[in-house]
Structure 1
Amino acid sequence: MGKPTGFLDYDREEGKNREPKERLKDYKEFHTRLSLDKQCVQGARCMDCGVPFCQSGVLFSGMVSGCPLHNLIPEWNDLVYKGKWDLAYERLIKTNPFPEFTGRVCPAPCEAGCTAGLNGPSVTIKENERAIIDTAYENGKVEANPPLKRTGKKVAVIGSGPAGLSAANTLNKCGHKVTVFERSDRPGGLLMYGIPNMKLDKEIILRRVKLMAEEGIKFITNANVGDNYDAQDIIDNYDAVILATGASEPRDLQAKGRNINGIYFAVDFLKANTKSLLDSNHEDDNYISAKDKNVIVIGGGDTGTDCVGTSLRHGCTSLVQFEIMGEPATERSEKNPWPEWPKILKVDYGQEEFKTIYGKDPREYLTTVIALNSDKDGNLESVDTVNVKWKKDNNGRMSPVPVNGSEKNWKAEIVLLAMGFTGSQSYLKDAFGVEFDGRGNITSEFGNFKTNVPKVFVTGDARLGQSLVVTAISEGLKVGMEVNNFLRK
């Protein structure tokens, strides 16, 4: 696939990010595309390697390498190289219903598994994917395609994140009548309110939802099942129910002073910011503003980075990001070989923007919070931390141990908790009667998606715990086929 010597003839080239000082002035997408001619050259770098780990989607050391959707990557890379964009689109959507999402926000485990990456830079698979789908939209190739026949069966999907949308799309194409219930005021779930607009423009999501609605899928927003919609009524009135509610229970901070005013979960901070942006371009002031405040972000990962980027756009006075783990190496170690996911230092857009302003990275590694302090009015004033080192405990597990004499006080008016999620929200137990496992996820039968409740299925992060958007889409495809088989028995 591609040009046989392309990986030797051409260097990896990516689309540019807008300059940090420019993009900090707005919430528009910051990553730009290459020209189509240049993108064709990048398609030429695909090696015809014979061992395409890029499309494997397997786990190595507990982390995915290759695409969980098993995208036919070498095939559409070859079509990109040849400039056959329409055929590349047809090949891409055979496995991925929403490449406009993954082409923007996926961390690209496909590139981690790319054979070219063994001894050099990997192929720009993610950008090739985005170029294919964006070009298809621009050329009018992405159109509503409703099923020709209906089965008479009705399916309710609870949640409209990537797993819910994927399941709904699959079942609708099978001819079933699908209704999606979303508790927020806009569909999209994690895609809409968990990812900032500068990474994924919300018009991209609404464009896809509009197509799905034209294909016959019904979306009901402001539908908080278990509150203003009765779960049992839904079970009684539909032939199957899919819980795609995500792993939305945030991990909390266990520290003295946790209940002081000014401490927020990252998900609440990011959602309020995006909703206000979409509702009024922030003119309604109905969001948690970091303007003129000293901000502390606790936790790394994409969510922590999003808190950094959003706070900088608000105009915060200062910012620091605490991570309890040590700073990763800049290159793979011998214990982290290809095609494993590379456990190396990642400088994402938020850190890049901070460094442009302040000349350094905002992250403080091996740091944990021990207390939060308030002023006389009960508002957050400062945060106490201590450095840690990692040692094996009596059970042989690595755990953080405080370093004596490393205590430090940090001025802060806002703390954002970006420490991950602990599983599904517990109200689902009462609403649907589903069982939970020891990790806080909804339990399903081994090897499939059935819960303990008849005709109720679970998929995505609600089943697996926090995962990638691409994994959630894969989950939605799989549960869709299982439910289709269940309905046709």
Structure 2
Amino acid sequence: MGKPTGFMDYKSQHMHERNPLERIQDFGDLYLPLSDQELQQQGARCMDCAVPFCQTGDVFSGQAVGCPVHNQIPEWNDLIYRGQWREALHRLHQTNNFPEFTGRACPAPCEGSCVASLYESPVTIKNIERAIIDKGFEEGWVVPSPPSKRTGKTVAIIGSGPAGLTCADELNKLGHRVTVFERHDRVGGLLTYGIPRMKIEQYVVERRVELLRQVGIMFVTNSEIGKDITFAMLQEQFDAVVVCIGATKPRDLLAPGRELKGIHYAMDFLHANTKSLLDSNLQDGQYISAEGKDVIVIGGGDTAIDCVSTALRHNCRSLTQFDIHERKPDERDEDNNPWPGWPIVHKCDYGLEEATELYGHDPRQFALMTKEFISDGAGNVTGVRTVQLQVTKDADGKLIRKEDAGTERVWEAQLVLLAIGFSGPENHLLNTTGIHTNHRSNIETAHGQYATNIEGVFAAGDARRGSSLIVWAIQEGREAAKACDQYLAECVSSKALISESVSTI
């Protein structure tokens, strides 16, 4: 695949980034596209490795290896190298319903498993994926293609995030009539209200949703199942139901002073910002503003970075990010984190680059634990008391964190954002339906299966597997659609057998 010596002939090249100090003035795309020639050279770097771990799509020893949707990466890399863009798009759509989403907001586990990384650096797979789908839209190759016939079966999908949209797309292709219910005013779930616009601009979501409408999928917004519409109504009106409600219940940090004003969950901050941005370009004031404030973001994941970058665009006075974990190593630990697993190394993502450029230093503080939120005496947060941690391992390799005496410190803050992960789906719907959950509060299904304990009800995405990546949500949506389709086919067969038995009596 590609040019046999391409990985030696050409250096790895990522998309050009807009200047950090310029891009924090708006919510526009972070990146500038590469030229076709540059992309062909990047495609040429895909070596004939014989065993392409990039498309493995599995978890080994708790580590993701390759692409969960099993993208045929070497094939479309080779096609881009040869200038066959339309064929590359066809191959890409065979495995990935929405490459414009993963090409923008996926951390690219495929690149962590690329064989070329053993030589120098991986193929820039994510950039090539985005370029393929963007060219497809630019050239008019991505067009609605409704199914040639309908089965007469109907499916309700609860949630319009990547899992719900994928499941809807797949079931519609199979000829079923699909209706997607979304509790918010816009379709997209976390694609719309959880990921900032500089990572996925709104037109990217809307153009795909419009295509789904054109092929026959119906969307009902401002409708929360269990409140606006009962779950029983869905079961009565549809032949099957797929629950794709995500895992949006945030983890809390129950330190003294948690009740103070000015402490918010990360998703409340991000959601309100995006809604106000889309509704009025932030002119309505209906968002949590960081302007002129000392901001502390607690958490070290992607959501924390999104909070950092959003606060910077509000023109905050200062910004600090707390990470309870130690600073990761600069190089992969081959003993504990061997290739082809995802490399656990120190990185500086887009929001951190922006903060570093603006303030002159990395905003992160590592191995730091929050002990208390400080009050101004009137119910508002004015600071956070922390302590440094000493991190060791016991004989079994388990981490042991101990407070380092004498390292307590108070950090000034008028806005604190909690981005410490999610603890499963919001449970109002699940509690009222009888859908079983597991010890992690996720919807319970048999291992590798998507049917819940209620007949005709399926689950997919973060609601089933826990908070994860967009690419895993897409894979879950595809697999749940297969399971749902099989159930619908068996229902038809069962009804036919019953009808035949009755006619012979």
Bucket of the pairwise TM-score, normalised by the shorter protein: over 0.9
Displacement after TM superposition at 1:118 (Å): 1.1
The superposition leaves residues 199-231 of structure 1 with CA deviations (integer Å, 9 ceiling, x where unpaired) of: 110110010000000000000111111111111
Displacement after TM superposition at 1:394 (Å): 10
Partners of 2:392 and 2:135 in 1: CA distance = 51
The superposition leaves residues 8-55 of structure 1 with CA deviations (integer Å, 9 ceiling, x where unpaired) of: 111111111100111011000111210111101111111011010010
Q: Do residues 386 (structure 1) and 373 (structure 2) align? A: no
Question: Which residues in structure 2 correspond to 1:328-343 (within 5 Å)?
Answer: 328-335=328-335, 336-343=337-344
The superposition leaves residues 305-324 of structure 1 with CA deviations (integer Å, 9 ceiling, x where unpaired) of: 00000000001011100000
The superposition leaves residues 337-392 of structure 1 with CA deviations (integer Å, 9 ceiling, x where unpaired) of: 21111010010011100010111100000001110111122111111001112245
Partners of 2:214 and 2:400 in 1: CA distance = 52
Partners of 1:457 and 1:54 in 2: CA distance = 29
* Correspondence for 2:217: 217
The superposition leaves residues 89-120 of structure 1 with CA deviations (integer Å, 9 ceiling, x where unpaired) of: 01110000100000101100111111101121
Question: Which residues in structure 2 correspond to 1:2-17 (within 5 Å)?
Answer: 2-17=2-17
- Out of 263-272 and 442-451, give the one that drifted further: 442-451
Partners of 1:214 and 1:287 in 2: CA distance = 33
* Correspondence for 1:35: 35
Q: Do residues 324 (structure 1) and 327 (structure 2) align? A: no
Change (3 A) 1:394 1:227: farther
Partners of 2:154 and 2:400 in 1: CA distance = 49
* Correspondence for 2:378: 377
| Counterpart AA for 2:362 | D
Provide structure 1 residue ranges, at least 5 long, that are not aligned to the other structure. none
* Correspondence for 2:485: 484
Partners of 1:26 and 1:364 in 2: CA distance = 27
Question: Which residues in structure 2 correspond to 1:98-247 (within 5 Å)?
Answer: 98-247=98-247
Change (3 A) 1:80 1:396: closer
* Correspondence for 2:400: 399
Q: Which runs of 4+ in 1 moved over 4 A?
A: 392-396
Tell me, yes or no, if the aligned pair for 1:299 and 1:417 is still in contact at 8 Å: yes
Tell me, yes or no, if the aligned pair for 1:299 and 1:321 is still in contact at 8 Å: yes
| Counterpart AA for 2:445 | S
The TM-score with structure 2 as length reference comes to: 0.95
| Counterpart AA for 1:256 | P
Provide structure 2 residue ranges, at least 5 long, that are not aligned to the other structure. 491-505
| Counterpart AA for 1:485 | Q
For the residue of structure 2 that corresponds to 1:235, the secondary structure is helix
Tell me, yes or no, if the aligned pair for 1:118 and 1:339 is still in contact at 8 Å: no
Change (3 A) 1:83 1:396: closer
| Counterpart AA for 1:424 | P
| Counterpart AA for 1:333 | D
For the residue of structure 2 that corresponds to 1:421, the secondary structure is coil
- Quote the sequence identity (%): 52
Partners of 1:12 and 1:81 in 2: CA distance = 14
For the residue of structure 1 that corresponds to 2:31, the secondary structure is coil
* Correspondence for 1:52: 52
Displacement after TM superposition at 1:393 (Å): 6.9
The superposition leaves residues 272-305 of structure 1 with CA deviations (integer Å, 9 ceiling, x where unpaired) of: 0000000000000000000001110000111000
For the residue of structure 1 that corresponds to 2:374, the secondary structure is strand
Partners of 1:164 and 1:434 in 2: CA distance = 18
What RMSD, in angstroms, separates the aligned Cα atoms of the two structures? 1.1
The TM-score with structure 1 as length reference comes to: 0.98
* Correspondence for 1:461: 462
Q: Do residues 434 (structure 1) and 435 (structure 2) align? A: yes
* Correspondence for 2:424: 423
Partners of 1:401 and 1:434 in 2: CA distance = 40
Partners of 2:392 and 2:12 in 1: CA distance = 40
Tell me, yes or no, if the aligned pair for 1:225 and 1:431 is still in contact at 8 Å: no
Partners of 1:75 and 1:409 in 2: CA distance = 54
The superposition leaves residues 112-170 of structure 1 with CA deviations (integer Å, 9 ceiling, x where unpaired) of: 11110112111111111111100010000000001010001000000010100000000
Displacement after TM superposition at 1:399 (Å): 3.5
Partners of 1:360 and 1:326 in 2: CA distance = 18
Aligned residues: 489
Displacement after TM superposition at 1:428 (Å): 2.2
